[in-house]
Amino acid sequence: MAKILCVLYDDPVDGFPTTYARDEIPKIEGYFNGQAAPTPAAIDFTPGQLLGSVSGELGLRKFLEASGHTLVVTSDKDGPDSVFERELLDADVVISQPFWPAYLTAERFAKAPKLKLAITAGIGSDHVDLQAAIERGVAVAEVTYSNSISVSEHVVMMILGLVRNYIPSYEWVLKGGWNIADCVSRSYDLEGMQVGTVAAGRIGTAVLRRLKPFEVGLHYTDRHRLPPDVEQELGVTWHPNVQSMVKVCDVVTINAPLHPETEHLFNDELIAQMKRGAYLVNTARGKICDRDAIVRALESGQLAGYAGDVWFPQPAPEDHPWRTMPHHGMTPHISGSSLSAQTRYAAGTREILECFFDGRPIRNEYLIVDGGKLAGAGAHSYTEGDATGGSEEAARFTKS
């Protein structure tokens, strides 16, 4: 029998929900590229309920305990005295979410001799030292596409929020004001602007499709170029590198995976090549941007706004400068954890576990590392290496 260690974010401050705003959510059976949505043998939860927090348990406890397995669920994940660190020693499987990542560093791999599988409930496995997983023969899997559309919707929302100066305008309402001049002094139309995405995978292409009706110029850069018919359908211009793309864009959205090649890609040098007053949206990974370079660019006016829901480390320390820098639209990492998305990635996590316990192959599109090498989606999106360095800073975070 196996021990499954699951790290999830805390329950709501007012307690686990007893009712929800909606009675149901749409049922998604497949995605735009033809990939089927998760297909576990069964689920033990109600779609549309909170599954990603500790009490939600991803709907896994009944399934696992009925088969004699042990499930440990915690939100305490950082530092040597954390529950995660203690329970990791004899864990067979670790489950974590990108929104509240349990950083699986090389040091932690060394403390977990029984570990066979690391699952990302969602997409984005950069909180795992992929090189260490390769060297130790630990499989890494994620629920590919489960929340890609969720994130792309969030990107569009943030672009409009920045360009139209939505957040400061809303704040005037809360203050009881009617300060139209203050609201519109930083408000523009998105129409006619040039918008580019760094990477055009599942999320990036979904963003392009959703922005096309806004009558903007569309651009992208990616090491995997889109098919000609897709470029023509979207009316999108390909750029061979990020430097050539950012020079022509009013808005740039980052939708690339984090690995050693993309770490701190948006630094002082690259940001200086962007149009003055450009907007930058990052729902990919916080570490793709140089933290302090973003602050400097907003303070100088080189960037007119920065929005995202990804930070490094996560959760972000209370003194993280992105909380207080000017003209930002930051949120906690929520873009891919809507109640709709949780239904899919919880089901996908169970599907992966069913395959693992039955000795059946895990879907190729779910695989990141398998058999001591990058595999499946991992071979397409990642490079070997480690992006977890510096994650110990997350231990500084304390609840207020």
Both structure tokens of 372? 């001591």
One of 259, 333, 350, 363 is an active-site residue; which one?
333
Residue 111, C-beta contacts closer than 8 angstroms, at least 6 positions apart? 85, 88, 89
Known catalytic residue at 285: yes
DSSP string spanning 318-387?
A: TT-GGGTSTTB----S-TT-SHHHHHHHHHHHHHHHHHHHHTPPP-GGGEEEETTEE-HHHHHH--SS--
The separation between CA 139 and the C-alpha centre of its own chain, rounded to angstroms, equals 20
Sheet holding 278-282, edge to edge: 236-238, 217-221, 194-198, 251-254, 278-282, 303-308
One of 69, 202, 285, 320 is an active-site residue; which one?
285
Residue 170, C-beta contacts closer than 8 angstroms, at least 6 positions apart? none
Known catalytic residue at 225: no
Q: Is 303 helix (H, G, I), strand (E, B) or coil?
A: strand
Residue 337, C-beta contacts closer than 8 angstroms, at least 6 positions apart? 52, 97, 99, 122, 147, 150
Known catalytic residue at 165: no
Known catalytic residue at 255: no
One of 131, 147, 165, 282 is an active-site residue; which one?
147
> How far, in Å, CA of 98 to CA of 267, rounded?
23
One of 97, 165, 194, 314 is an active-site residue; which one?
314
Give the residue numbers annotated as catalytic, written as ranges: 147, 285, 314, 333
